[in-house]
Chains A and B, each alone.
Chain A
């Protein structure tokens, strides 16, 4: 199945008008791929059936968001980055009463759970204040419940091994242990394109989310993230993300670690 340009345009219009989601912010190839995935999950045969169901109110906003959103791949993706962050946290957090970490626009809990494991191993869980945001209540509930698909657990364990973790991951998946580590976390429903982000953050983890946006919206969100970081605060993006095509934005950050894509607000 494929979508024509006119079908794309129609879906964007219908989704915006009926369930108030602006799909025009997404890079075209991603948008097509996610729409095709959404149609497949709902078992719709074509674009017309999708727009028809949306117009008739058969698909609710949260249902659409939870299926359309790209699920994050795994815990400890890019172990080298997490090793780097571990060093950063050891050197920084011990001097803080509440080091502020913000993970915006979560679609799954993988990055958040990774952070919790890391902080727990460093015995620093009570030195941080974490904010998790998503654009969907349904996603927030799933993240809180810590439901990890069994097929992901083996992958997570393999990544953790490459991260050179010291305790093993098993205990985190048992007896709701990960849930117990959520005590210093606030969960907020935030549309990062439209709503104000929490300010004075020491660290923003926004990995592999810029890739789904057009360059225009990458710049808008990057500016929003810049505003929510404190001076000297760090931003971590995905290994292959390239968000500094706009020189005025690039000038606002210093490169902390290029290979792991860690940047520091000037």
Chain B
């Protein structure tokens, strides 16, 4: 397979899209999937459980320096930035919020771009701010594949439109289109 990882960023309106994607991926999905979703910083539990309800894949919130294992979904923990390091490990950070967010999608995407270069797929979903746009551009600039949820399909268009404004996505897809793409890797 050409790719080594998938990273998805989303905010308001992305939860249902993510649950649809997770429920449609097979048990033997062969890549690690990183989720950087804006979330309430003081709610530490419940999000993984909600995502796991229909997922065929194991979902965890990584601890700092945890190893990355393929076929696992990693959700950026509340109130931490999540970096993907060289050597298939995570680094977490409590640095200041970026785009009013911690976790920041931009920061996770930057690190994924650096670590995986052309072997990562970056996906931006529905959301109400511009977080993720610079990050998805970095993935594109470093040779990765960039997918943006079709703004017409997104509950809130700001995030997909910001990504489209700043870079040229490889694909603009509906939720079902994203699912089909990932299932045909």
CB distance from B40 to the nearest CB of A (A): 11
A27 in contact with B85 (CB, 8 Å): yes
A79 within 8 A of B: yes
Please, which residue of chain A has its CB at the minimum distance from the CB of B63?
A242
Interface of B is mostly: loop
* Contact (A28, B85) CB under 8 Å given A33-B107, A239-B44, A240-B77: yes
- Contact residues of A between 182 and 219, Cβ < 8 Å to B: 208, 210-212, 215, 218
Please, which residue of chain B has its CB at the minimum distance from the CB of A4?
B114
B80 in contact with A27 (CB, 8 Å): no
| Selected interface stretch from A69-77, A85-93, A228-236 | A69-77
A123 within 8 A of B: no
Please, which residue of chain B has its CB at the minimum distance from the CB of A36?
B110
Please, which residue of chain B has its CB at the minimum distance from the CB of A31?
B91
A211 in contact with B111 (CB, 8 Å): no
| Selected interface stretch from B93-101, B144-152, B160-168, B175-183 | B93-101
A70 in contact with B95 (CB, 8 Å): yes
B85 in contact with A72 (CB, 8 Å): no
* Chain A residues within 8 Å of B, Cβ to Cβ: 2, 27-30, 32-34, 37, 70-73, 77-80, 159, 162, 208, 210-212, 215, 218, 238-242, 245
* Chain B residues within 8 Å of A, Cβ to Cβ: 42, 44, 61-66, 77, 79-80, 83-86, 91-96, 102, 107, 110-111, 114, 138
List B contacts of A238 (CB < 8 A): 64, 94
Among B42, B77, B79, B85, point to the contact of A29 (Cβ < 8 A): B85
Please, which residue of chain A has its CB at the minimum distance from the CB of B113?
A2
CB distance from B96 to the nearest CB of A (A): 7
What are 9 A-B pairs at a CB distance below 8 A?
A30-B93, A70-B94, A208-B94, A211-B94, A238-B64, A239-B44, A239-B77, A241-B64, A242-B63
List A contacts of B94 (CB < 8 A): 70, 72-73, 77, 208, 211, 238
A242 in contact with B66 (CB, 8 Å): yes
Interchain Cβ contacts within 8 Å, total number? 73
9 closest cross-chain pairs (CB), A and B? A29-B83, A242-B63, A211-B64, A27-B91, A29-B91, A208-B94, A211-B92, A240-B77, A29-B111
List A contacts of B64 (CB < 8 A): 210-211, 238, 240-242
A211 in contact with B91 (CB, 8 Å): yes
List B contacts of A240 (CB < 8 A): 61-64, 77, 80, 92
| C-alpha gap A210/B92 in the complex (Å) | 10
A33 in contact with B66 (CB, 8 Å): no
List A contacts of B62 (CB < 8 A): 240
A33 in contact with B95 (CB, 8 Å): yes
List B contacts of A77 (CB < 8 A): 79, 94
* Contact (A79, B42) CB under 8 Å given A29-B91, A73-B79, A240-B61: yes
List A contacts of B92 (CB < 8 A): 211, 240-241
| C-alpha gap A30/B77 in the complex (Å) | 17
| C-alpha gap A124/B111 in the complex (Å) | 45
B86 in contact with A28 (CB, 8 Å): yes
Please, which residue of chain A has its CB at the minimum distance from the CB of B62?
A240
List A contacts of B96 (CB < 8 A): 71, 73
List A contacts of B77 (CB < 8 A): 239-240
| C-alpha gap A210/B93 in the complex (Å) | 10
CB distance from B74 to the nearest CB of A (A): 12
